Structure 1
């Protein structure tokens, strides 16, 4: 783990450290408090080299950090509490707090297990030559559920084997096997517990957002707002092109459907009328209509003859 700085600092060294903190507090827009309690020194060195382009880590005794914070003149900086961390350190950056948190999460490094940790995901032993000679490790691998055999003087894993499932505790025996095989199953990174920016304090819970989901929500809200504005006829720089385009299309469709002889729509209007005529023709049986008309014409004389006959009969009776 990261060890605290030696406590036997001279007065001049303490003053120099406070001044170093004060300069950084003045220079950087974003100041965070890290908890270094669970971070091994080797992993810290790796992480520092990865984040040096966007952040700077400074640490010392908590009392010196608090003195620097008390003397800082930024509004609200006094709310930045080093007591939020077991072993605090400053992190300074010119990224905004959310970017800083995301970048920290992206710059984690692997670490070996000591036993007692909870597996973050399934821990698998890969297939192949372990490079370990036959001995106690052979039985330990078999006990962990791996199919193994000795070949050319070393232990070979026949098939990939999960020896610890996600959420389960890594035992001391599991840790020994993993360390022997050079497998580092843990992900270690900086723990940003609180950050200050422009007079506001952000906790890690507030900074831990799903950026992809957040972006989708923003895009969905923007699209819904745009559609509402267009449908409501709210004209502005963003909606004007869509509203004008929609109005032009409606006018064009009306001219076509009503057969208005406009130069831009005459071809479509004629085509529309022809299609409408074809649709009507397809629904009407012209042959049947013609036959029905002929039948009506042939029945009319018979009806007249029948009327004349009735008139003659009535005259005779008289």
Structure 2
């Protein structure tokens, strides 16, 4: 069946209908959503992208398309979408374009929370220490025993299956995972590679956000907010500024000052009687000690 084409009457150039549809779709999406972001696909596997597309299909439109097609489509609507010309310059290498009304920060955090663990491939970098635990692997003896030996994993045969004799570290953070080790980890169902996509660049309402701008450590912000709250509360108490949060502390502080003043002046109240008597006893003991040192008798 011949492919349907659309002809540009001005320059007599024919374009596949699918490319024209993508061209028009890109322009419509760019005008319809507040945020346009891109993710570089150099370290992203197709399975990951499919899973994310499925999970966020109602919130984020994700398209993978040739950069030239996207750039030409966007050039026509620079005046309609602020910052689009900035994003056009970032389209290099293999990219996925994302259109959404979710803020770039929230989108990046959402992607971070939805990363998945995948089997390693030869050439992957170990993200952390990789350990093969001791115990029954459930694998029947055979050629696979050589894979254990090459990875320096001690084994024994018991009840017809291979057992790992002791916990064994097979890779440290930053090590390159060999093809043979990757195959062994896959047989053991060890999935050490954290996979997901990140927002590498985004525009929203004319503002641009680079990857470093979107990296947020939530706990750092929580700690900063807690610190700021505590400092503001301390200041309001010192300044005797009444707020819902400072009133209990101000009343407690006033009570403590009142008790201290009553104790110092010898004013007896249910709250101060023990303190006043204790202070009087201490003063009397000190006086008796001084008189005794001067030769005076303090016994009755």
Normalised-by-shorter TM-score class? 0.7 to 0.9
Partner residue in 2 for 1:111: 118
Range 207-216 or range 20-29, more displaced: 20-29
Pairing partner for 2:143 from 121, 136, 142:
136
Pairing partner for 2:259 from 253, 259, 283:
253
2:229 is the alignment partner of 1:222: yes
Please give the alpha-carbon distance, in whole angstroms, between the structure 2 residues aligned to 1:283 and 1:225. Answer: 43
Gaps in structure 1 of 5+ consecutive residues: 1-7, 295-318
Partner residue in 2 for 1:277: 280
TM-score by length of 2: 0.78
- Pairwise CA distance, 1:104: 0.9
The count of corresponding residues between Structure 1 and Structure 2 is 283
Please give the alpha-carbon distance, in whole angstroms, between the structure 1 residues aligned to 2:159 and 2:117. Answer: 31
Root mean square deviation, CA, Å: 3.4
Kindly provide the CA deviation profile for residues 95-114 of structure 1, in whole angstroms up to 9, marking residues without a partner as x: 32222111111212233333
Contact kept? 1:119, 1:164, Cα under 8 Å: yes
Pairing partner for 1:64 from 66, 69, 79:
69
Over 3 Å counting, the alpha-carbon distance change for 1:77 and 1:253 in structure 2 is farther
Please give the alpha-carbon distance, in whole angstroms, between the structure 2 residues aligned to 1:277 and 1:224. Answer: 39
- Pairwise CA distance, 1:238: 6.5
Over 3 Å counting, the alpha-carbon distance change for 1:243 and 1:162 in structure 2 is closer
1:162-311 to 2 correspondence within 5 Å? 162-231=169-238, 233=239, 235=241, 237=243, 241=247, 245=251, 248-249=254-255, 252-253=258-259, 256-257=262-263, 259=265, 266-285=269-288, 292=296
Choose 1 or 2 for highest CA Rg.
1
Kindly provide the CA deviation profile for residues 137-195 of structure 1, in whole angstroms up to 9, marking residues without a partner as x: 21221221112123344322222322222211111221222233333321221132111
TM-score by length of 1: 0.74
Partner residue in 1 for 2:44: 39
The DSSP-based 3-state class of the residue aligned with 1:222 is helix
The DSSP-based 3-state class of the residue aligned with 2:169 is strand
